[in-house]
């Protein structure tokens, strides 16, 4: 039996996590003298409400080797004969290397997979593997499917402010220089072939940011009938629903969902950010 594990940045909706028995190893949010396990002790809605009014700026810490070992042990207790562990991109976080170290010494195969992305970039890959496993396919088939889906992923995100991204150091120097001259709202991408944040364009207003991101996505993905599409948001459900309605006016994807982006990614993109991730429905 194949069991699936991910870190809490994958942003897979809880109902799908439950359907495919996917375990999430939480990253920790440190807020002053308080510490929260992502989506265990603090939910995305609470995080985005608090972060906009609390003068303290939170930070995060990655799961420990022990955290992953607990997840591996629980999966084995539940009958796992092989484990697939999907993590945030290795160029964006040390979580992948931690999960690999934790996997050493187990008698059953534990396949630690680098998603080369964040949020539903990883989520679509893992769901593709879990759906195939549910059909009784082998772990080799599952890993091949994950690799195939990874190559098809398209991701774009719009940030309402550069404050959080500048703190994390994830944006190009050009964006940081421009932000000193006037306020900007960047659109960024992550390509799984590269695995790091890259700039796309800049916008001055939130309305223009929404228009620009949707236009950039549809330009990259003019045909959506065979695509699974996720709209993620950082405490901006109205924006996510607006984008969903606009996509449905022009296309009917094979699957379309709205997902909350958790606190860990929220620390890097800030409140009101949003994104779209799509992958082929192979």
Q: Per residue in 253-263, pLDDT tens?
A: 999 999 999 99
Q: CA 146, CA 184: separation in Å to the nearest integer?
A: 36
Enumerate residues 6+ apart whose C-beta is below 8 A from 262: 8, 9, 11, 38, 39, 44, 47
Q: CA 101, CA 196: separation in Å to the nearest integer?
A: 22
Per-residue pLDDT band for 182 (boundaries 50, 70, 90) equals low
Mean pLDDT of 115-136: 97
Flag the least confident range among 35-39, 73-77, 86-90, 178-182. Answer: 178-182
The phi-psi region of residue 233 (left if phi > 0; otherwise alpha if psi is between -120 and 50; otherwise beta) is beta
Answer whether 10's CB lies under 8 Å from 23's CB. Answer: no
Per-residue pLDDT band for 238 (boundaries 50, 70, 90) equals very high
Residue 166 above 90 pLDDT? no
Answer whether 268's CB lies under 8 Å from 165's CB. Answer: yes
Fold type of domain 2-27+62-150: Rossmann fold (3.40.50)
Write down the pLDDT at residue 261. Answer: 95
**CA torsion angle 119 121 124 126 (round to 10):** -80
Write down the pLDDT at residue 171. Answer: 55
Mean pLDDT of 25-49: 94
Mean pLDDT of 6-22: 95
Token representation of residue 110: 């534990």
Measured at the alpha carbon of residue 103, what is the angle toward residues 97 and 108, in degrees to the nearest 5?
150
Q: What is the mean pLDDT of the chain?
A: 92
Domains 2-27+62-150 and 154-280 belong to one CATH topology: no
Positive or negative, the Cα torsion across 194, 197, 199, 200?
positive
Residue 174 above 50 pLDDT? no
Q: Per residue in 39-87, pLDDT tens?
A: 999 999 999 999 999 999 899 999 999 999 999 999 999 999 999 999 9
Residue 282 above 80 pLDDT? no
Write down the pLDDT at residue 271. Answer: 95
Q: What are the extents of the domains in the chain?
A: 2-27+62-150, 154-280
Measured at the alpha carbon of residue 270, what is the angle toward residues 266 and 272, in degrees to the nearest 5?
105
For 154-280, the fitting CATH number among 3.40.50.2000, 3.30.43.10, 3.20.20.70, 3.30.1180.10 is 3.30.1180.10
pTM of the model: 0.93
Q: Per residue in 142-163, pLDDT tens?
A: 999 999 999 999 999 999 988 8
Enumerate residues 6+ apart whose C-beta is below 8 A from 44: 234, 235, 260, 261, 262, 263, 266
Backbone angles phi, psi at 156, to 5 degrees: -140, 145
């Amino acid at each position: 039996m194949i069991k699936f594990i991910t870190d809490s940045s994958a942003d897979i909706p809880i109902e799908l996590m439950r359907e495919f028995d996917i375990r999430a190893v939480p990253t920790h949010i440190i807020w002053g003298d308080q510490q929260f396990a992502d989506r265990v002790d603090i939910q995305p809605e609470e995080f985005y409400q608090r972060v906009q009014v609390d003068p303290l700026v939170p930070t995060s810490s990655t799961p420990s080797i022990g955290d992953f070992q607990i997840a591996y042990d629980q999966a084995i207790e539940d009958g796992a004969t092989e484990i697939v562990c999907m993590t945030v991109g290795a160029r964006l976080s040390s979580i992948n290397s931690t999960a690999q170290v934790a996997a050493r010494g187990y008698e059953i195969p534990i396949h630690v997979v680098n998603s080369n992305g964040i949020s539903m970039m990883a989520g679509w890959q893992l769901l593709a593997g879990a759906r195939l496993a549910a059909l009784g396919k082998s772990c080799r088939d599952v890993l091949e499917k994950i690799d195939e889906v990874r190559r098809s992923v398209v991701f774009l995100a719009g940030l309402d402010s550069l404050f959080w991204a500048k703190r994390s150091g994830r944006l190009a120097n050009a964006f940081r220089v421009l932000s000193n001259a006037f306020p900007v709202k960047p659109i960024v991408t992550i390509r799984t072939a590269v695995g790091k944040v890259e700039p796309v364009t800049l916008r001055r207003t939130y309305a223009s940011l929404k228009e620009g991101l949707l236009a950039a996505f549809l330009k990259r993905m003019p045909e959506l009938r065979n695509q699974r599409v996720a709209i993620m948001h950082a405490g901006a459900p109205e924006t996510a629903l607006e984008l969903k309605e606009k996509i449905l006016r022009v296309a009917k994807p094979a699957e379309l969902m709205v997902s909350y982006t958790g606190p860990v990614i929220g620390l890097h993109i800030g409140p009101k950010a949003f994104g779209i991730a799509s992958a082929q429905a192979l």
